[in-house]
Chain A
């Protein structure tokens, strides 16, 4: 098969896929259109709306910057330095991703709040109150701590695919290590960094749980307030989020325009940088991040568990929910990992406005709060799938298939970013060599390109897996009736303040995810 024909086939596959991905976005635009234009304009331009939108943008920019500031050094330390215990650090530094930001924020308040646990420890020293965590700083801290792993995983994958020859050339030309990192390494990592930072930024825009607990008044709160009654106005506000996302995507596309991220050589493992006297500082840095993002929330969960057990609270069986969580997350990760490939191939190998649009379109719905996406699927399910289902004798349109599909639509961007970054690092001449040696184009891709992309594709699937494990609003709306997962158990118990019952599944969620990380994160040799 020729390259051209293959590209056409990919395109033919991707178009309907992209249309499916954009279903919720399209649905929301239609619903938003039902708001009378005059009311829409008044509502969107009043000072209050603009103010909360401004706060959301501020939070988005600062969280993305802080996540990069934490994740890039951490990724470099675990991939490129002789940091002691780097395998353990890698797993520990990734784990905060599985802590639902809602649980994490609650735990932060409980640990670091004005009257929290830490204040209790400091009380003998005469500390009456800690500075308030509520407001911008609390929201910023919580969102940074529980989202930086998006950048960490993506940059790790990027660093591992980076040819050290470029850096070595820079050293030969007399640049210092720091200057080389700044001018060469970071530049080459740009696609990985922007893929991760984009996920963090959109996650921040869409979050409601953490900002609500931190009492910071942002745009999603206006959406939730409206969701109590009319979906039309909530949809209108959601369309604003879609527009913001589109703007952000355009900015990122401009920033990355036309770089070469591969080399002509076979990448080989780089020499590890000796940290020397910086070893202790590096350990302290990783330790501090893990302390805040992982140990603190886990500690609070453990306290809840012990406290509740002491008061005789009965725990519930968690094995069946665990099995359901693993099944849904595993399927969603596999489907997303595969579905990402055609988009990424088209975007990277056949760059152009159309293929770029195709791949970036998948991100459009990513900044929407999950419940909005879930409701869109409820409508589509009840009105489209139901008709089909009725013909084969099904009463409820909900099924594991629909659930996995909805997860894929929602979280595909997490798989796209790292996969794209890793394909950018594969020299297309390798595929051409395989062609001249007589391989057909698809076989060349499978035997040459895919293995080289492995680290990025796996990282992307891992992100989807971990995110689905903790996903709540879509699960609540679309899972088959009775399909309760670890996340719904946590929600059900914590919403009624049964903290011990919430803590048990939450701890299991974190531990099981950690075990999967050992498998997902490849050894660094």
Chain B
């Protein structure tokens, strides 16, 4: 026994020493001091979209263009705040965000540079900043994910507001701290007014709606039968089905132009402080190319936003979703939404 301990200990010390002494496979990232970097030849991306989803596309971009890319992955909100804290000294050239709200925040703070028209014009006007400061790359629709054992499509209501009815008590879930819900709530504020929006969230809570910390947890809860339906983004269903092909879950879109049908975007902006703007623009154009767009359609089950591209056949086509008449850029009053949520949630 003591010998085994001793050997284990020796092995561990050896491993620890080796891991400190040996160079890492990618030689740049392990030094006690940051590596020197030639300006203007490397593209630095802050990505709020996870490596699991966008890593392959970025690797392909590097192979196709020969441009060296450094990606910092993180939480969209934390990265947006990081850029603001770093100010003009941010090493970031591109901010790739999971939702339009964070891009709107940076646009408002004046740290984004205008994008060229050929990039902006690749997508419909409703999916880009009217000032041309950011552009949507892929679309995500708000839907109701429902348990097909518990509900038929015909059981689901015609409007999002109908979930306040007593029959839905304790059966709905949502992710109130999630950025995609914040954007949706802002849309509700704009189309129905602050009071109606406040009454909606308060009503959901009073009706026993469960608060999940993220969309994927809400979809898993629907699949497990913990709740019957959840207000989420459309692609979480497919992520769940990939690991649980027999899960009894499906997506429901509201009829007509109900406010339940918002389409939000994941998109990017180029930092005004970047000294690699041409490379950054090349990257934006690449993400809006047919090959990258079909990656998003097929691998992440999002809506490709390049005009003329079709989404996965299992999705309701973008052209058939009657989004309420509002601009995504109208959704930049995140402050008002957070004040409202703060009042209702922090209780």
Contacts and interface: CB of A to CB of B under 8 A. Distances in A.
Interface in B303-347: 334-335, 338, 341-343, 345-347
B36 A394 contact: yes
A216 B220 CA distance: 19
Interface stretch (A190-198, A283-291, A326-334, A412-420): A326-334
Contact of B243 (A228, A394, A499): A499
B294 to A, nearest CB: 19
Contacts of A229: 105, 334-335, 338
A393 B34 CA distance: 10
Interface string A201-226: 00000000100110101000110111
Contacts of A212: 177, 213
A323 B243 contact: no
Given A228-B179, A311-B245, A399 B12 contact: no
A215 B53 CA distance: 27
B87 A382 contact: yes
A375 B84 CA distance: 10
Contacts of B87: 382-383
Interface in B1-28: 2, 5, 8-9, 12-13, 15-16, 19-20, 22, 24-26, 28
Which of B70, B73, B85, B245: most chain A CB closer than 10 A?
B85
A433 interface: no
A493 B52 contact: yes
A454 to B, nearest CB: 15
B240 to A, nearest CB: 7
Contacts of A516: 12
Q: Is the interface on chain B under 10, 10 to 19, 20 to 34, or 35 or more residues?
A: 35 or more
A114 B225 CA distance: 9
Given A48-B343, A313-B242, A330-B19, A495 B214 contact: yes
A518 B9 contact: yes
Contact of A217 (B75, B182, B214, B347): B347
A234 to B, nearest CB: 9
A394 B78 contact: no
B20 A330 contact: yes
Interface stretch (A251-259, A353-361, A475-483): A475-483
B202 to A, nearest CB: 12
Contacts of B216: 495-497
Interface string B76-91: 0110011011110111
A97 interface: no
B12 A515 contact: yes
B345 A396 contact: no
Contacts of A52: 346-347
A425 interface: no
Given A114-B226, A226-B338, A498 B34 contact: no
Contacts, number: 214
A495 B50 contact: yes
B29 A480 contact: yes
Contact of B70 (A375, A399, A481): A481
B239 A497 contact: yes
Contacts of B335: 229-230
B52 A496 contact: yes
A482 B342 contact: no
B25 to A, nearest CB: 5
Given A134-B210, A395-B34, A497 B338 contact: no
B16 to A, nearest CB: 5
Contacts of A379: 85-86
A519 interface: yes
Interface string B29-52: 111111111010000100000111
B225 A501 contact: no
Which of B5, B30, B177, B335: most chain A CB closer than 10 A?
B30
A138 to B, nearest CB: 12
Given A227-B81, A228-B179, A375-B81, A399 B89 contact: no
B161 interface: no
Contacts of B72: 481
A212 to B, nearest CB: 4
B244 A307 contact: yes
A378 B182 contact: no
B74 interface: yes
22 contacts: A48-B342, A52-B347, A114-B226, A225-B338, A229-B338, A382-B85, A382-B87, A386-B89, A394-B35, A395-B36, A395-B39, A400-B32, A476-B74, A477-B74, A477-B82, A482-B26, A492-B51, A493-B50, A496-B52, A496-B239, A498-B52, A498-B243
Interface of A: 47-49, 51-52, 106, 113-116, 134, 209, 212-213, 215, 217, 221-222, 224-231, 307-308, 311, 313, 320, 323-324, 326-327, 330-331, 371, 374-375, 378-379, 382-383, 386, 389, 392-401, 473, 476-477, 479-484, 488, 492-493, 495-501, 515-516, 518-519, 523
4 closest Cβ contacts across the A-B interface? A212-B213, A497-B216, A382-B86, A399-B34
Interface of B: 2, 5, 8-9, 12-13, 15-16, 19-20, 22, 24-26, 28-37, 39, 44, 50-53, 70-75, 77-78, 81-82, 84-87, 89-91, 101, 105, 177, 179, 182, 210-214, 216-217, 219-221, 224-226, 236, 239-240, 242-245, 334-335, 338, 341-343, 345-347
Given A225-B338, A394-B36, A488-B73, 16 more contacts: A47-B347, A48-B342, A48-B343, A213-B217, A224-B177, A320-B26, A326-B16, A375-B85, A386-B89, A389-B34, A395-B39, A397-B34, A398-B34, A480-B35, A483-B30, A497-B239
